[in-house]
């Protein structure tokens, strides 16, 4: 039977400490529901402390009304304050009043923090840990004790660090989580320390690593190999400084490479979608280079790689992309050849063969377009449309009859308006719309013109917009390449346009983006 590894998610608390993230209450409730759907064992909701964090207090009230079926909700706090009794401590009593079955508290295990930060003696710190855990257990809570700075504390004074966790054990803690709070522990030290702790502590152990040395996932894996059964981390590695241990990386590693049981397989098969959902709610662009779920994780650009992958899928991939809900990609570029083009055509259901004259003709056209400034490496949607149009397998959804963009200054503010004439299904639509800039105005005007014919465009939005000068020697008359990344909360796709006029290049990429969405929906 596979050993069970509990996944403890702290995205809503520790992950929210990332400088670029500011979750609203509604965001946190949406993400809690998503985490429950994924099947994580624990969802840490935040600090429910009266007078300090009203949003988290409200979260714990509201989350009770959600249909949480698979996960336990945990409230987070700290051991009692120095020189205060547990019965009078505002943090411990706020945790009890939050009404969760699980409470996670952190306590200091490094003498440096006990003496210099808390301003207590090492002995008093141990008393604080024991009394806090016991008080919560007296209130029938499942208690997880986060041994903060444990690895730094152990390296400084192993005897004292162990006394701290033994105090939590003696008081009845259900799980003791060893925290590499500063993220500076090397894997060799993680290996030695977790082996020692596992031999001396009988309580269930967890691991909480940070990524300051780029070793958070590796350290957590070593800890699991040494017997630890709970892994704490965040989706996409969100978190303070360089982030927390990335659950998106460790879940498939534990499952497919190590044979542990941590999430339902059907949810791991949707891991890419889940990871992108968290980026979407956090209002962050997905990291293309992210392991397992990134856009480039299974992308093979070099011609040699592409040719080998067509012969054997094991040639350049460590797992099958579909096991985590990702897809294999072979961008058609000036570095790749017929193999990449054949792969893309098969992926899209387009029949092309190596000895088909059209194959070399298409490749020649694509390379000529790239010489003119196009880039299909990151614009698969435009390449898809190009192939289908070239094969006469494509009927345009609308036809442009004219457009105009006005940018003017009014009272110190730039104002943009776009007017377009479009023929849709034999009907002429003439619309105008404002926007934050000329491209946004064009996007709004286009959607306004076609939404009654194609209501699905309301689901899509622009995620990213990039402009690059292709020919740097011609100054302001040089060609520019515009890349537009779009999403409909299910997929992300990129389109490209090239022109000496940035508005025209933007329009070309925008039209491709909308047409790709409409083609995809059908």
Same domain assignment for residues 12 and 95: yes
Same domain assignment for residues 24 and 167: yes
Same domain assignment for residues 80 and 213: yes
| Cα angle: 142, vertex 147, 148; to 5 degrees | 130
The lowest-confidence range among 8-22, 123-137, 265-279, 399-413 is: 399-413
Buried b (16+ CB within 10 A) or exposed e, 107-126: bbbbbebbeeebebeeeebb
Same domain assignment for residues 339 and 476: no
Whether 391 is covered by a domain: the verdict is: no
Whether 172 is covered by a domain: the verdict is: yes
Same domain assignment for residues 230 and 326: no
Q: Compute φ and ψ for 129, nearest 5 degrees.
A: -65, -50
- Name every residue whose Cβ is closer than 8 Å to that of residue 218 and which is 6 or more positions away in sequence: 187
Whether 393 is covered by a domain: the verdict is: no
Q: Identify the domain containing residue 72 by its residue range.
A: 6-282
CA-closest candidate to residue 8, choices 206, 226, 254, 191: 206
User: Residue 305 — pLDDT band, cuts 50, 70, 90?
Assistant: low
How many other C-beta atoms are found inside a 10 Å radius of the C-beta of residue 452? 10
β-strand partners of 175: 144, 204
Of the residues 371, 391, 422, which one is the last residue of a structural domain? 371
| Residue pLDDT, tens place only, 458-493 | 888 888 888 888 764 555 557 888 989 888 877 888
CATH of the domain at 138: 3.20.20.70
Same domain assignment for residues 110 and 244: yes
What confidence score (pLDDT) does residue 310 get?
57
Whether 196 is covered by a domain: the verdict is: yes
Q: Cα–Cα distance between 205 and 268 in angstroms, integer?
A: 24
Whether 422 is covered by a domain: the verdict is: yes
Whether 382 is covered by a domain: the verdict is: no
45 touches 74 (CB < 8 A): yes
CATH of the domain at 452: 3.30.160.270
Of the residues 352, 371, 390, which one is the last residue of a structural domain? 371
Q: What is the pTM of this model?
A: 0.72
Give the C-alpha distances (Å, rounded to integers) separating 43 from 6, 203, 244, 270, 465.
Answer: 11, 21, 15, 19, 35
Whether 296 is covered by a domain: the verdict is: no
User: Residue 313 — pLDDT band, cuts 50, 70, 90?
Assistant: low
Same domain assignment for residues 362 and 435: no
What confidence score (pLDDT) does residue 510 get?
93
- Residue 41 pLDDT > 90, yes or no? yes
Same domain assignment for residues 326 and 407: no
Whether 219 is covered by a domain: the verdict is: yes
User: At CB < 8 A and 24+ separation, what contacts does 333-338 make?
Assistant: 333/301, 333/370, 333/375, 333/376, 333/377, 334/367, 334/370, 335/301, 335/302, 335/303, 336/301, 336/302, 336/303, 336/306, 337/303, 337/306, 337/307, 337/363, 338/363
Same domain assignment for residues 18 and 121: yes
Same domain assignment for residues 463 and 339: no
- Residue 236 pLDDT > 80, yes or no? yes
Of the residues 251, 282, 313, which one is the last residue of a structural domain? 282
| Residue pLDDT, tens place only, 158-212 | 999 999 999 999 999 999 999 999 999 999 999 999 999 999 999 999 999 999 9
The domain total for the chain is 3
């Amino acid at each position: 039977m596979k050993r069970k590894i509990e996944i403890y998610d702290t995205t809503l608390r520790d992950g929210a400490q990332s400088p670029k993230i500011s979750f609203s209450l509604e965001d946190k409730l949406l993400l809690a529901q998503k985490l429950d759907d994924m099947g994580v064992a624990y969802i840490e909701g935040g600090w429910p402390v009266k007078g300090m964090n009203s949003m988290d207090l409200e979260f714990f009230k509201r989350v009770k009304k959600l249909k949480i079926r698979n996960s336990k909700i945990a409230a987070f706090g700290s051991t009692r304050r120095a020189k205060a009794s547990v019965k009078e401590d505002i943090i411990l009593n706020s945790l009890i009043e939050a009404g969760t079955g699980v409470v996670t508290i952190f306590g200091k295990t490094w003498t440096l923090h006990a003496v210099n930060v808390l301003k207590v003696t090492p002995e008093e710190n141990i008393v604080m840990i024991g009394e806090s855990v016991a008080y919560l257990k007296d209130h029938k809570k499942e208690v997880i004790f986060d041994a903060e700075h444990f690895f730094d504390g152990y390296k400084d004074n192993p005897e004292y660090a162990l006394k701290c966790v033994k105090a939590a054990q003696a008081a009845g803690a259900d799980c003791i989580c060893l925290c590499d709070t500063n993220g500076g522990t090397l894997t060799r030290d993680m290996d030695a320390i977790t082996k020692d702790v596992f031999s001396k502590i009988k309580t269930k152990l967890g691991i909480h690593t940070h990524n300051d040395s780029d070793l958070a996932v590796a350290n957590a894996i070593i800890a699991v190999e040494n017997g630890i059964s709970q892994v704490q981390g965040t989706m996409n590695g969100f978190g303070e400084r360089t982030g927390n241990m990335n659950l998106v990386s460790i879940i498939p590693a534990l499952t497919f490479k190590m044979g542990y049981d941590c999430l339902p397989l059907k949810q791991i098969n949707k891991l890419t979608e889940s990871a992108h959902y968290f980026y979407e709610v956090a209002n962050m662009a997905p990291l293309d280079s992210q392991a397992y779920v990134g856009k480039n994780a299974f992308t093979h650009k070099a011609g040699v790689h592409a040719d080998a992958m067509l012969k054997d899928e094991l040639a350049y991939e460590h797992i099958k992309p579909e096991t985590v809900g990702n897809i294999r990609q072979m961008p058609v570029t000036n570095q790749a050849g017929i193999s990449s083009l054949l792969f893309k055509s098969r992926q899209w259901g387009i029949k092309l063969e190596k000895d088909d004259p059209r194959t070399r003709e298409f490749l020649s056209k694509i390379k000529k377009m790239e010489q003119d400034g196009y880039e299909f490496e990151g614009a698969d949607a435009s390449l898809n449309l190009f192939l289908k149009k070239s094969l006469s397998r494509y009927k345009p959804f609308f036809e442009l009859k004219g457009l105009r963009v006005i940018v003017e200054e009014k009272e110190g503010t730039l104002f943009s308006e776009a007017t377009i004439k479009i023929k849709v299904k034999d009907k002429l639509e003439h619309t105008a719309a404002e926007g934050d800039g000329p491209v946004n105005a064009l996007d709004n005007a286009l959607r306004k013109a076609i939404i009654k014919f194609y209501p699905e465009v309301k689901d899509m939005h622009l995620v990213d917009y990039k402009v690059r000068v292709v020919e740097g020697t011609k100054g302001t008359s040089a060609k520019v390449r515009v890349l537009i990344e779009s999403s409909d909360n299910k997929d992300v796709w990129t389109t490209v346009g090239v022109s000496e006029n940035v508005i025209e290049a933007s329009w070309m990429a925008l039209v491709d983006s909308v047409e790709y969405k409409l083609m995809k929906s059908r």
